[in-house]
Structure 1
Amino acid sequence: MTTNADDVWRLLGELIEAQKETERVIKEQSQETEHRFRETDRRFEETKQLLQRQSEQSDRRFEETKQLLQRQSEESDRRFREQSQESDSRSETLRERRFRETERIIKQQNEKLNQELGKLGNRLGEFVEWQVRPAVVQLFQQRGIAVNEFHANISVKRSGEALEIDLLVVNTDQAILVEVKSKLSQTDIDEHLERLEKFKRLMPAYRDFKAMGSVAGMVVPENVARYGYRRGLFVLAQSGDSVVILNDDKFRPRQW
């Protein structure tokens, strides 16, 4: 097949037209792409602005919420302080009232205790004055101890030591130290034994005497009486309107 000049020009024309069409399509596509890019940019900008507005709105709401919470917190603190002050005031008033009431009760109890102690002191004084003193010499004489005098309320201080004796019953060579209590206890007996240990040291005038001990009580529990007996002491107790020695005839007093 032979190609002539007309065919060449015709093919060349077709190529030129095809190129123009391609350029036209490319241009249209480019314009469309650019249009889409601009649209995308526009939408992006709108979205960006929307997000910015939403962010600003969120920030504003956050700040409003923060301020609201701050006001609520301050209000809560204020109410708490007011309630605390009111509660403290009520508590303080209640404490003061309770303290005054306790103080009043203690004062009444102290007054009552002082009255009872006064009565007890009077009773103890009467016990010593009207029962122990008149009977004590005779009671020991009946036990074969020939005492004939007594001395009451002796107080001695020597070389930094002190000694107090309720009743001291003596003759020429014997001395009996008598301790008198309203209610006799084991502790009273132990303290009287200590008193007997330092008797001759603090009262050397009786150094050559045979010293003995005795305890007396308006009330003498049985176990305490037995304890005094075992420790070598005479135990005297009130019996009606008189005083008796509780030790039996087998008892032998301890001597110091």
Structure 2
Amino acid sequence: MLELERKMTLEQALQDFIVETRKSSLETNKIVQEVSKQIKKTEKLLNEKFQETEKKFQETKMMFQETDKKFQETDKQIKNLLKKSSEFDSNWGKLIEALVEPAVLDLFKERDINVLGTANNYIIERNGKKIMEIDLLMKNGDCLVLIEVKTSLRIEDVNEHIESRLTKFKKFFPEYKDKKIYGAVAYLKCLEKADIYAMKKGFFVLTFSGKHLIHIKNKKDYKPRDFG
């Protein structure tokens, strides 16, 4: 009797284990299915987000390409404007040179500088390379006047004339070692009070006026600097 009861208890325990195992398996399977469902949902969401990001990336890329194209077009337009502006200034400069050259003979004669000859666009070359260009060069028995012509005169133009031409002239022309070297500027428009600055540096300053087409702004008793 006791043996039979033990057998029934064992069988019951086994059946209970099987039932619990099946129940647990069903719950596990349900969890797995739910997790799988969530994974698929997440994958779908990530895929949608990726596609959306890719679309935005392509749109941004196209926008940058369009912006770059516009920048290139703008840069081209700016270069064309600068080229035209340079040509415009060059043409004005040539016109001023053409007006100044015949006038300097009488203007400097009034300053006791008898001009014997002039040369425009006086270019100095060494070994086929241009090292100096003088817009107008005036020659006298005992001096030379180097005139820089500008449409718009700035302080930097005055300094550049001193550093690049006046102080270096005798280096390239030692035959003029006994000559005085004077500096001058001629302009149509003055910026930064460059005319006053030029006179302080020892320059003759030539410009246009209503009464006289071209005149020297310096006072009659002005003493120019000898840059030689």
TM-score if structure 1 supplies the norm length?
A: 0.75
Higher relative contact order structure (alpha carbons within 8 Å, sequence separation ≥ 6)? 2
**CA displacement, residues 95-121 of structure 1 (integer Å, 9 cap, x when unaligned):** 233333333333333333333332222
Computed over aligned residues only, the root mean square deviation of the Cα atoms, in angstroms, reads 2.8
- 2:223 corresponds to: 252
Separation in 1 of the partners of 2:5 and 2:110? Answer: 145
**Residue from 197, 205, 213 that aligns with 1:242:** 213
- Match for residue 21 of structure 2? 52
Structure 1 residue aligned with 2:132: 163
Shift of 1:127: 1.2
Q: Pick which of 243-252 and 166-175 moved more.
A: 243-252
Contact map agreement 2:186 2:206 (CA 8 A) in 1: yes
Secondary structure of the 1:182 match is strand
Q: Partner of 1:92 in structure 2?
A: 61
Q: Per-residue deviation at 1:253?
A: 0.7
Could you tell me which runs of 5 or more consecutive residues in structure 1 were left unpaired when the two chains were aligned.
1-26
Partner of 1:182: 151
Return the offset for 1:144: 1.5
Distance between the aligned counterparts of 1:127 and 1:161, measured in 2?
23
Aligned to 1:116: 85
| Kept in 2: contact 1:183–1:217 (CA 8 A) | yes
Q: Which moved more, 1:159-168 or 1:119-128?
A: 159-168
Larger radius of gyration: 1
Q: How far off is 1:168 after superposition?
A: 0.8
CA contact (8 A) 2:123 2:130 kept: no
Name the residue aligned to 1:22.
Answer: none
The structure with more helix, counted as a fraction of residues: 1
1:3-49: per-residue Cα shift (whole Å, max 9, x none)? xxxxxxxxxxxxxxxxxxxxxxxx9xxx6xx969976x677656644
Aligned residues: 224
Q: Does 1:150 align with 2:118?
A: yes
**What's the counterpart of residue 102 of structure 2?**
134
3-state SS of 2:193 partner:
helix
Distance 1:53 1:167 in 2: 111
CA distance in 2, matches of 1:185, 1:138: 26
The question of whether the paired residues in 1 share the 8 Å contact of 2:154 and 2:192 is answered with: no
Instruction: Compute the displacement of 1:239 (Å).
Output: 2.2
Match for 2:161 among 189, 192, 197?
A: 192
- Structure-2 change in CA distance of 1:203 and 1:54 (3 Å): farther
Q: Offset at 1:210?
A: 0.8
Given the alignment, which residue of 142, 165, 184 partners 1:214? 184
TM-score normalized with structure 2 length: 0.83
Alpha-carbon contact 1:219-1:238 (below 8 Å) kept: no
Residue of structure 1 in register with 2:142 after alignment: 173
The equivalent residue for 1:230 is: 200
| 2:173 aligns with one of 200, 203, 214 | 203
Q: 2 CA distance for matches of 1:137 and 1:227? A: 25
Relative to 1, partners in 2 of residues 1:222 and 1:239: Cα closer, same or farther, differing over 3 Å? Answer: farther
How far has the Cα of 1:248 moved from its partner? Answer: 1.8
Q: Percent identity?
A: 26
Q: Is the 8 A contact 2:149 2:185 kept in 1?
A: yes
